[in-house]
């Protein structure tokens, strides 16, 4: 059956195949960029970058951020934004590390962290979906509330030691693979399944692409939004857990670099801030690009004071390249400058 349909339209299908290959390359363009960047990093650092110990360190640093960025991707796909990931991250880590430090078993720490993420996500989702408060304002508010609770809980002092079992969560190896990287891989596979094989995934794309049409089509818009914010909360909490286990401390203060890296990773990965378009896995590539740049700055001895400025420039540049190099946008621009068609 497939054979006959192929032979019927052989010339057309050949160009269709090429077009599909080109479009796949366009969709996943972040990965060749990452490879080029890594090659440049290897050259610029005189090979230091490619040392196994450095690559492993990059993975350990990138994994928690990428986990949080995956949740952020779901929210941005719905045309929302979650600024509160940075607070959920911090609150989950101080509560989990605090419990662990006071002798609670690891399972209690993990469950408490995920509980924080679940509660924060449901709160955001409820405010956005049911009360229709704009996502930016909602998560700006919960960012402050979450950080405040973390400071009250810790008395504004960092938790500086955690038991070995907790530490292992962020620094153990599974064979040659760091455990956080394995957890990241699991989350990626799970989300790819959710986004492309389950109804909720298609609903997220639909709600972000055109909320009015989604509502008229009878899709559960509120439920979809609540799902996205809850997933973001849970994954931010998991990220906080992994990172605090890796660095073996938990600080009650929101780290702006974390917020920049999670949102920046999604944007660099090409997910549209207007919602409805983007790929889950590309956000991992986006985070890796940001972490590689940070790693290079470290190796080359660039002042850490510049860190957030560099991240800001990367975000702007990424948005510019993603929007500016979108064929549809270029087509519209060409029509405009050539004076053909409507403005």
Partner 1 sequence: MSGAVETGVTVRGPGPRWAGALAGQARWIALALVIAVPAALNPHFRSLDNLQGFLQSIGVLLILAMGQSFVLLIAGIDLSVGAVLAMGSVVLAALLQQGWPLAGAIAATLATGLGTGVLSGASVLLLRIPSFIVTFAFMGIAFAAGLVISGGNRIGLPTGSALPELASGGILGVPYQIILAGALLILGTLGLRHLTIGRHLYAVGGNPEAARLSGISLSRTTLVAFGLSGLFAAIASIVYTARIVSGNPIGGGNLNLQSIAAAVIGGVSLFGGKGTLLGACFGAILYSLIENVLNLYNVNPNITEIVAGVIVLLAGLINVLTETRRAAA
Q: Residues with Cβ < 8 Å from 145, sequence gap 6 or more?
A: 87
Residues in a beta bridge with 170: none
Q: Which stretch binds partner 1 (CB under 8 A): 32-40, 91-99, 183-191, 301-309?
A: 301-309
Residue 68 near partner 1 by CB under 8 A:
no
Residue 217 near partner 1 by CB under 8 A:
no
Residue 303 near partner 1 by CB under 8 A:
yes
**3-state class (DSSP) for residue 140:** helix
Q: Which of 273, 267, 245, 243 is nearest to 255 (CA)?
A: 243
**Measured from the CB of residue 49, what is the shortest distance to partner 1 in angstroms?**
23
**Measured from the CB of residue 109, what is the shortest distance to partner 1 in angstroms?**
22
Segment 98 to 127, residues that bind partner 1, using CB under 8 A: 127
Residue 298 near partner 1 by CB under 8 A:
no
**Measured from the CB of residue 21, what is the shortest distance to partner 1 in angstroms?**
29
Binder among 149, 181, 245, 251 for partner 1 (CB under 8 A): 149
Closer residue to partner 1, CB minimum distance, 67 or 143: 143
- Farthest-apart Cα atoms in the chain, separation: 73
Sign of CA dihedral 157, 160, 163, 169: positive
Residue 316 near partner 1 by CB under 8 A:
yes
Binder among 32, 47, 105, 134 for partner 1 (CB under 8 A): 134
**Measured from the CB of residue 212, what is the shortest distance to partner 1 in angstroms?**
8
Sign of CA dihedral 148, 139, 170, 111: positive
User: What's the burial of 320, exposed, middle or buried (CB within 10 Å: 0-12/13-18/19+)?
Assistant: exposed
Q: Report d(CA 132, CA 113) in Å as an integer.
A: 27
Q: Which stretch binds partner 1 (CB under 8 A): 62-70, 78-86, 91-99, 175-183?
A: 78-86
Residue 90 near partner 1 by CB under 8 A:
no
Cα 308 to Cα 143, 256, 261, 264, 311: the distances in Å are: 19, 8, 9, 11, 5
Which chain residues interact with partner 1 by CB under 8 A?
Answer: 79-81, 127-128, 130-138, 140-149, 151-152, 156, 211-212, 256, 260, 263, 267, 273-274, 303, 305-313, 315-316, 319-320, 323-324
């Amino acid at each position: 059956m497939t054979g006959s349909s192929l032979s019927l339209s052989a010339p057309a299908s050949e160009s269709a195949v090429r077009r599909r290959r080109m479009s796949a390359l366009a969709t996943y363009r972040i990965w060749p960029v990452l490879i080029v960047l890594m090659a440049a990093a290897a050259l610029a650092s005189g090979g230091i970058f490619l040392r196994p110990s450095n690559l492993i360190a990059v993975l350990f640093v990138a994994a928690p951020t990428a986990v949080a960025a995956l949740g952020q991707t779901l929210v941005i796909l719905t045309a929302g934004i979650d600024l509160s990931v940075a607070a959920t991250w911090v609150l989950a880590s101080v509560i989990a590390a605090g419990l662990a430090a006071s002798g609670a078993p690891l399972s209690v720490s993990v469950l408490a962290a995920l509980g924080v993420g679940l509660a924060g996500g449901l709160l955001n989702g409820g405010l956005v979906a049911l009360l229709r408060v704009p996502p930016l304002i909602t998560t700006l508010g919960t960012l402050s509330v979450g950080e405040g609770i973390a400071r009250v809980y810790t008395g504004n002092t960092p938790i500086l030691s955690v038991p070995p079992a907790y530490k292992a969560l962020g620094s153990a190896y599974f064979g040659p693979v760091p455990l956080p990287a394995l957890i990241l891989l699991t989350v990626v596979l799970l989300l790819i399944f959710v986004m492309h094989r389950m109804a909720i995934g298609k609903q997220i794309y639909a709600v972000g692409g055109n909320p009015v049409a989604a509502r008229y089509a009878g899709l559960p818009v509120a439920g979809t939004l609540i799902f996205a914010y809850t997933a973001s909360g849970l994954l931010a909490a998991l990220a906080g857990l992994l990172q605090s286990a890796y660095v073996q401390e938990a600080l009650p203060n929101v780290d702006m670099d974390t917020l920049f890296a999670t949102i920046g990773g999604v944007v660099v990965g090409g997910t549209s801030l207007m919602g409805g378009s983007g790929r889950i896995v590309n956000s991992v590539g986006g985070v890796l690009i940001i972490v590689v740049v940070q790693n290079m700055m470290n190796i080359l001895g660039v002042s850490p004071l510049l860190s957030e400025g560099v991240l800001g420039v990367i975000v702007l540049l990424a948005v510019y390249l993603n929007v500016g190099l979108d064929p549809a946008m270029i087509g519209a621009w060409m029509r405009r400058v050539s004076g053909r068609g409507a403005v």
